[in-house]
Amino acid sequence: MRNLLVTLVAISVLVLGPAVEPAVAQNARALLQAADNAVGASKVNSIVYTGTGRISYLGQNFTTTDDLPRVDMKTWSQTIDYGNKAAKEEMVRVQGNNPPRGGGAGFPITGEQRSTTLVSGNYAWQLNAQGQPQAQNDQAEARQFMIWVTPHGFIKAALADPNAAVTDREFVGGGRTLRVVGFTTMGKYRATGEFNAQNMLERVVTWIPNPVMGDMQVEIRYTDWRDVGNGIKAPFHIHMHQGDHPLVRGMNYMDAQASDVKANVEIASLTVPDAVRNAAAPRVNIQTTKLADGVWLIAGGSHNSVAVEFKDFATIIETPLDDARSNAVIAETKRLIPGKQIRYVVNTHHHWDHSGGLRAAYAEGATIVTNELNKNFYERVVLVPQPRTLSPDRLSQFPFATTGPGPGKLETYRDRYAISDGDQSVISYHVEGFNHAGDMAIVYLPKSKVLISADMGPPAAGTPVENVSLSSVSLYNNIKRLKLDVSQHVPIHGNPSSNADFERTVGPAAARARPAGPQAN
Ligand SMILES: [Zn+2]
């Protein structure tokens, strides 16, 4: 019997051969080889695109239903070295004729902003204004993956996946059928590409992890394919969306028109700098300062939170960035205010660096307090219990049942929302006339006269009047409008400062700004 089994196994290996591929995999391979022949993907070791276009600030739209805020790329170049899994993207941003509102930069941006981002294998970095490298190794994986959805990278990576598969898809109205290839790379990233009758890659749809959107959709359209020599073709027009969602809208992220594409040129300056190679992995750092009785600043990173003790519960103002930061802020709040439930998390505005920790607070059981403009996006996109496959978080691993009880605990307001036990109070006020975010709130604690603000300064004491930003003038005007009696400013970015300094620094700028007419909004 044993011999028979061995014989059967041997025969099946002989008959089927080592390449036991399902038909779809064979069809995918044939299509990918035709696509490779059409554009010469496997001949491309490196490639440099240069051109101009537009670029947006992800997660920084004016409201959740607006398109992303964008600026012009006066120059743009992308260098890809496929063999070394390395890439460099350089751009010079200028305001151009784009609407000066939203976050990500102080709009309108003045002059030129240069940015250079790089990846090489498991290392990622950017160059600062002085041209020095700053490690961003936690972004290396996603940046490396983006190499495999570039026009030639897609074909290379799909050919490398033995399980790549293809399906036909009719685009109704377009009157044609495209073939869609799907593959997986780097163990977990899935990408699909649509090929036309000429075997040209027209579009890629994929997902990258994001604290707010989860498995966030990325769509890239490649058009205007041209010959660049040696049997290689490249698309001269690249249009990218990031963060599209059927319940929100299409989010235009980048549009680049190449003026020149060169394949297989010498690739310089992609050596990993020692400072990047030796950089310590980023970790969540918590530094707590008592601001007043029952009020603590939780700092230590790029974004602050404030914990407030009430008679029967605790409240946190702002759970920023991501799951890791938010869970650390929650743990610190429990240490500071033991034995009391974190009943509320007050959110200043929807920008992703400020809302990326809301899901952890939700998983904790907290009620999210935010402007009514965010209700649909938070309830139906951000806080939903769907799995997050690329970077599972606390809420996706411990979801609420959609049938209840809870969560659905979102409190929204238009102008003002107060949490109070008769002694301690936390009051959110909608900020008017601010071009950064239509849903922006400042959060006032009447007992301690603390005012918490995000992305509005305050400027350092003694800042010359001409250097005071319109954001800080807007903060000043809203304090006056609401007649708030403030003694201490606690910004989400940076250190607390006194209102006396604020009056001295921003007061003259506000007086000067007034005759200039209404602010851009
Ligand atoms: Zn913001």
Task: Say what the pLDDT of residue 7 is.
Answer: 44
CA 142 / ligand 1 centre spacing (Å): 23
pTM for this prediction = 0.92
CA 482 / ligand 1 centre spacing (Å): 21
CA 432 / ligand 1 centre spacing (Å): 15
CA 102 / ligand 1 centre spacing (Å): 8
Note residues around ion ligand 1 (Cβ under 5 angstroms).
Answer: 103, 351, 455
∠ CA 363-365-366, nearest 5°, is 110
How far, CA to CA in Å, does 271 sit from each of 10, 239, 392? Answer: 49, 29, 32
> Rounded to an integer, what distance in angstroms lies between the CA atom of residue 53 and that of residue 66?
20
CB 230 within 8 A of CB 265: no
CA 353 / ligand 1 centre spacing (Å): 7
CA 101 / ligand 1 centre spacing (Å): 11
Q: How far apart are the first and last CA of the chain?
A: 82
CA 455 / ligand 1 centre spacing (Å): 6
CA 224 / ligand 1 centre spacing (Å): 36
Task: Say what the pLDDT of residue 22 is.
Answer: 67
CA 104 / ligand 1 centre spacing (Å): 7
CA 324 / ligand 1 centre spacing (Å): 20
CA 280 / ligand 1 centre spacing (Å): 28
CA 220 / ligand 1 centre spacing (Å): 26
pLDDT digits (tens, 9 = 90+) for 272-302: 999 999 999 889 999 999 999 999 999 999 9
pLDDT digits (tens, 9 = 90+) for 160-209: 999 999 999 988 777 788 999 999 999 999 999 999 999 999 999 999 99
CA 461 / ligand 1 centre spacing (Å): 22
CA 112 / ligand 1 centre spacing (Å): 21
CA 454 / ligand 1 centre spacing (Å): 7
CA 340 / ligand 1 centre spacing (Å): 30
- 269 by Cβ neighbours in 10 Å (0-12 / 13-18 / 19+) ranks as exposed
CA 354 / ligand 1 centre spacing (Å): 7
Task: Say what the pLDDT of residue 267 is.
Answer: 76
Phi, psi of 458 (to 5 degrees): -65, 155
CA 135 / ligand 1 centre spacing (Å): 23
CA 446 / ligand 1 centre spacing (Å): 24
Task: Say what the pLDDT of residue 269 is.
Answer: 62
The torsion angle over the Cα atoms of residues 479, 482, 487 and 491, rounded to 10 degrees, is -50
CB 429 within 8 A of CB 53: no
CA 440 / ligand 1 centre spacing (Å): 8
CA 285 / ligand 1 centre spacing (Å): 21
CA 7 / ligand 1 centre spacing (Å): 68
CA 162 / ligand 1 centre spacing (Å): 44
> Would you give the distance in Å from CA 54 to the centre of its chain?
17
CA 60 / ligand 1 centre spacing (Å): 6
CA 148 / ligand 1 centre spacing (Å): 31
Q: Which of 116, 140, 119 is nearest to 129 (CA)?
A: 116
CA 436 / ligand 1 centre spacing (Å): 6
CA 213 / ligand 1 centre spacing (Å): 17
Helix axes of 499-513 and 470-482: crossing angle, nearest 10 degrees: 100
CA 59 / ligand 1 centre spacing (Å): 9
Instruction: Compute mean pLDDT per 10 residues along the chain, 521 residues long, and list them.
Output: 44 47 79 98 97 98 96 98 96 97 92 96 95 96 98 98 94 83 97 96 98 97 97 98 93 98 84 96 95 98 98 98 98 98 98 98 96 96 93 94 75 98 98 96 98 97 93 97 98 98 97 60 37
CA 480 / ligand 1 centre spacing (Å): 22
CA 473 / ligand 1 centre spacing (Å): 16
CA 349 / ligand 1 centre spacing (Å): 7
Q: Which of 272, 343, 293 is nearest to 120 (CA)?
A: 272
> Rounded to an integer, what distance in angstroms lies between the CA atom of residue 124 and that of residue 279?
11
* 3-state class (DSSP) for residue 247: coil
CA 98 / ligand 1 centre spacing (Å): 18
* 3-state class (DSSP) for residue 381: helix
CB 259 within 8 A of CB 52: yes
CA 351 / ligand 1 centre spacing (Å): 5
CA 521 / ligand 1 centre spacing (Å): 15
